[in-house]
Amino acid sequence: MSLYVVTGTDTGVGKTFVTSRVVAELRRAGVDAVGLKPVETGWSEETSDAAHLAAASGKRIEDVIWAHFALPAAPSVAAAAESTSLEVSELVAWVRTAAGRHEHCFVEGAGGWMVPMTSDMLFCEVVERLGPAGVILVSASRLGTINHTLLTAEAVQRTLPLAAVVLSVRPTDPPAEAAVHMEEISKRLTVPVIEFPRDLRDLVAMFHVEHQA
C-alpha cells in the first residue's frame, strides 16, 4: 500500500477534481486505487467531495469519509459548532485501515496545509502522523498562485516529501497566464509541476510506474 496526501494552497483550488480523476484513471488501468476524504465541512451529501471520490473509487460514500460537519469552516470550527471535536488518533487509525485495503490511497485534506483540525493541531501535523509516501500540492491558476504555491511547497518540504505540484487550470482561465504560472513555479521547484487536466496522463503515470515496479 502506498499512501499519498492531497492538499491545496487554499480551499476551492481543485483538490477533489484532481484526486478523483487520478483515482479513476488508475482504476481504469487496472490499479487498485481509492480516494478518501476523512473530514469534510459544509456537508451536502449529493454534491460533496466524498461523493465524487466514492464514485471514482467504486465505493459507497460512507466508505470514503470518516466525519462531516454542516458548517463550511475549518474542521475545528465546524466540529465545535456541533459541540464536538475530532479525535486525531481515531482519524489516523481509520485512514490507515481504509488505505491498507488498497494498493494506492489518495487522502484529500479539508482546506489547506495548515488548516486547524482541532484546537491544538493543524492538518500538516495530522499528516505527519500518517507518514505518507508523499504530498501532492494542488494550486489554482489565478492571481497570487505563484506566491501561495511556493510558500505551501516550502512548508510541506520542511517535514515531508513533496511528490508533485498540480496547477489546476479551468476552461475559463487564460492560457497565457497559466503558462506563466507553470514557468515561474517550475523553475523554483525540483519536483514535477503538472498542469491539470492537460497533463493528467503524466500525473497518473507517476503512480502507474510505481504499481508496475
If phi over 0 gives left and psi between -120 and 50 gives alpha, with beta otherwise, what is residue 58? left
Domains of the chain are: 2-212 (3.40.50.300)
Active site residues per annotation: 37
> Residue 100 phi/psi, 5° resolution?
-65, -10
Per-residue pLDDT of the chain (213 residues; tens, 9 = 90+): 799 999 999 999 999 999 999 999 999 999 999 999 999 999 999 999 999 999 999 999 999 999 999 999 999 999 999 999 999 999 999 999 999 999 999 999 998 999 999 999 999 999 999 999 999 999 999 999 999 999 999 999 999 999 999 999 999 999 999 999 999 999 999 999 999 999 999 999 998 765 555
**C-alpha cell of 118?**
482541532
Distance between CA atoms of 45 and 50, rounded to whole angstroms?
Answer: 8
Residue type, 38: P
Distance between CA atoms of 109 and 115, rounded to whole angstroms?
Answer: 9
Residue type, 127: V
For the question of whether the overall pTM of this predicted structure is more than 0.85, the answer is: yes
